[in-house]
Chains A and B, each alone.
With several copies, the nearest count.
Chain A
Amino acid sequence: TAQDTIKIGVSYPTPTHAWAAGMNWHAEQAEARLEALYPDVDLILINSPDPAAQASALEDLVSIHGIDALVVLPFESEPLTDPVLNVKDSGALITVVDRGLSQPGIEDIYVAGNNPELGRISAQYMMTRLETGDNIVILRGIPTIIDNERFDAFMAEIEGSGINVLDHKHANWNRDDGFEVMQDFLSRFPDIDAVWAQDDDIAIGVVAALEQADRAGDGMFVVGGAGMKETIRGIMDGNELVPVDVLYPPSMIATAMDVTVAAFKSNGPVAGRYILGATLITQENAESFYFPDSPF
C-alpha cells in the first residue's frame, strides 16, 4: 500500500553543463536500478534552475510527496541550509551530496567529491612538468565557492615553485568562454607554457584556441578536470596536449542514492561521511574511468 512505500526525494541543480548532465544520467540510472530492485522504494527526481527554486522544490517534496528521505545536491551551501533543516524537521533522513551545508550536523549521510584536492592535484601535476620561470594561465569557472576552493588550493600549492601565473579569468565552465578568453590570453602573452582550465568543457575551448593560433606544439599542455569521457578517451590514446585529467566523479549522486536506500534496507549502520578522491587520471589508469554510455 501507499503508506508502506519508502519515498525518497532527490534534488539537484538543473544540468546546464556536461558534468551536471553526467550526474543527472547517473541519478536516472540509479533510480531505475533501485526501483526495480526494491518495488517499495519510490525515488522522486527534481532538478531546479536556481537556489530559490531548489528551496521551493524541497518544500514541495515535503508538503506534496511526504518524503521519508532526501538526497540533495545543494545549488549553493548557504542558501539551502535552512530549507534542508526544514526537511529534516519533518522527520526525513538527509543525505547531502557534494556541497556541504553551512551548518554542521544536519545531514545523516554526506557523500562528496573533493574540490580543494582537485586544485592541489592539478598544481602538483603542473609542478612535475614545469620549471622555475615557466608561465601558465588559468581559466576559472563561474564565480562560486567551488571555483574559489579549487583556485585557492591550486594557488597555495603552486606558491614558491617559481611558476608564474600570468593571469586568471573566469571562463564559466563553458566552451565558448574558454575559447574566447584563451584567444585573448594568446594575443596578450607571447610565452605560455601550460594552461590550467580547471574543467574539461573549458579545456575544449582552450584547445580549439591553441590550435587556431598554432601554439599547440612545443610541449604546451592543458589540464582540465572532472573526467569527461572524450577527454579520458584522448588520454587513453596518448593525447599530448591534454595528457591527464583530475577526477571529480559525477556518479557521486548515484553513490548517495545507494547509501540512502541502504539506510532503509540494510541492517548495518550507513550514516557517515563518504569523501571521494580527486584521482589523477593518466594513460595508465584511464581505462577504469571510461564510461562510453554516459553523456559525460
Chain B
Amino acid sequence: MPELAQTDATIRKPKIDLKMYGPAIALVILCIIGFSLNTAFLSEGNITNLLTRSAFIGIIAVGATFVITAGGIDLSVGSMAAAIAGIMIILMNALVDILGTGVLTVAVGAGCAVLLGALAGLANGLLTTKGKIEAFIVTLGTMGIFRSLVTYFADGGTLSLNFDIRGTYRPVYYDSLIGVPIPVWVFIIVAISGWFLMNRTTFGRYCTAIGSNEHVAQYSAINVNKIKTWTYVIQGLCVALATVIYVPRLGSASSSTGVLWELEAIAAVIIGGTVLKGGYGRIGGTILGALILTTIGNILNFTDLISNYLNGTMQGLIIIIAVWLQRADWGKSKD
C-alpha cells in the first residue's frame, strides 16, 4: 500500500513533548528563587514543612483530577473538608465516654470520616448524573450547605477535639516514618494509587473517554453516569483522607477551615496540565501543581521584599506565568 505508507514517516517521529515538563520546570525555578532569597529554603525542616503542607491540597487535587478529567467540577471540596472535620471531632468527643481516649476512638472517627466523604461525594455525583443538574451548580449548592453545617455545629466558632484524644491522634500529623512525615506518606500512596487508577485501569480510561466526548463514550457501552458518579465518590474519599490527616494538626475545625481549598485544588490540577474541559488528566502534573502552589506561599513568607498586601498579586502572576510557560507554542519553530 504505497499511498498509506507515505504518511508513515511523518507520524513515527518520536515526539518529545516539552510541555510535559512545564510544571516541573516551573517548580525548579521557584525553588531556585526560594533558595536565592534565603538558603534556609532548602533546609530539611523547610522541605519537610512544604511537603507536609502540600499533602492536603495534593490529596484533594488527586481526586479533583478524576472529576475534571471526566468533564465535571467540584467546588464543594473545601466546605466538605470542614464539615467532615467538624463531624469527626464531634463524634470522637462523644465516643470518649464509650470507647475511651485510645486508638479505637480515633480509628472509628477516621472510619466515619471516610464514610462521610464517600457519601458526600455520592450526593454530588447523583445530583449531577441522575438529577441532570450542572456539576457547577450542584457543587456550588453543596459548598454552601456543607459550610453552613459546620458553622451550625460549631455555633459559628470552633469545634475542638478532646484534649486526651489529641494525644493519641497527634502522631498522625507530627510523626515520621523512616524520616518522612506520615502525611507525606499518605500523599505518596494516594498519588501512586491515583496515577495507577488513571493510567492503568479501565476506570481511568473511561474517565478520559467521558471527558473527551460523552457521546462517543456512551455509544461505546460505557456506563457514563456510573463512572461520573464514581469520580465524585473518589473526590469525596480524597477529601476525607486529607481531613483525617489535617485534624490532628491543630485538633480543631471551624467555619474558616478549608476556605478556598476548592480553587487551590482546581488550580493545582490545571497547573499540572489537566484540561479543564475534560478528556485529558495528568496525576503527576497535579502533584507538581500542588507543590508549586504551596511553594509560592512558602516563598512569600520567606521575604519581606514585597508588601504583604501584594501577596495575592504575586500568587496570581506566578500561576499565570507557570501555565503560560507550558501552554505557549514553544515547539512551533522547531517542528
Contact = CB atoms under 8 A, between A and B. Distances in A.
Whether A and B touch directly in their complex, counting CB atoms under 8 A apart, is answered as: yes
Interface of A: 14-18, 20-22, 24-25, 44-47, 50-53, 55-57, 59-61, 63-65, 75-83, 102-103, 140, 142-145, 147-148, 167-170, 174-176, 179-181, 183-188, 201, 204-205, 208, 212-213, 230, 295-296
B249 A179 contact: yes
B158 A18 contact: yes
Contacts of B260: 50
Interface string B151-183: 100111111100100100010001000000000
A81 B158 CA distance: 12
B302 A51 contact: no
Highest count of chain B CB atoms <10 Å: which of A17, A50, A59 = A59
Which of B156, B174, B251 is the most central at the interface, judged by chain A CB atoms within 10 Å of its CB?
Answer: B156
Nearest to B157: A21
B160, B255, B298, B308 pick with most chain A CB within 10 angstroms: B308
Given A64-B301, A175-B250, A187-B45, A46 B308 contact: yes
Interface stretch (B35-43, B200-208, B212-220, B325-333): B35-43
A98 B253 CA distance: 20
B250 A184 contact: no
B226 to A, nearest CB: 35
Contacts of A184: 46, 49, 298, 301-302
A167 B45 contact: no
Contact of B257 (A25, A51, A296): A51
A21 B301 contact: no
A147 to B, nearest CB: 6
A181 B53 CA distance: 12
Given A60-B301, A168-B308, A50 B259 contact: yes
A50 B56 CA distance: 15
22 contacts: A15-B255, A16-B151, A16-B254, A17-B255, A56-B297, A64-B38, A64-B41, A76-B252, A76-B254, A76-B256, A79-B250, A79-B251, A79-B252, A83-B250, A145-B157, A148-B157, A167-B304, A169-B301, A179-B250, A187-B40, A188-B40, A205-B250
A148 B155 contact: yes
A159 B189 CA distance: 51
A296 B256 CA distance: 15
A56 B254 CA distance: 17
A295 B154 contact: yes
Given A180-B53, A184-B298, A187-B45, A45 B40 contact: no
A121 to B, nearest CB: 21
Given A176-B250, A183-B49, A187-B46, A78 B160 contact: yes
Contacts of A140: 308
Given A15-B157, A45-B304, A187-B41, 4 more contacts: A51-B257, A52-B246, A81-B251, A143-B309
Given A56-B53, A63-B40, A82-B170, A185 B301 contact: yes
B27 to A, nearest CB: 18
Contacts of B170: 82
Interface in B250-309: 250-252, 254-257, 259-260, 297-298, 301-302, 304, 308-309
A61 B40 CA distance: 11
A172 B260 CA distance: 14
B249 A78 contact: no
Contacts of A46: 301, 304, 308
B301 A17 contact: no
A81 B166 CA distance: 12
B244 to A, nearest CB: 15
Contacts of A83: 249-250
Most chain A CB inside 10 Å of its own CB: which residue of B151, B166, B249 = B249
A15 B302 contact: no
Contacts of A174: 256
Q: Which 6 A-B pairs have the closest CB atoms?
A: A21-B157, A15-B156, A79-B250, A143-B156, A78-B252, A21-B156
Contacts of A51: 250, 254, 256-257
A209 to B, nearest CB: 9
B157 A56 contact: no
A207 to B, nearest CB: 9
A15 to B, nearest CB: 3
A201 B158 contact: yes
Contacts of A185: 301
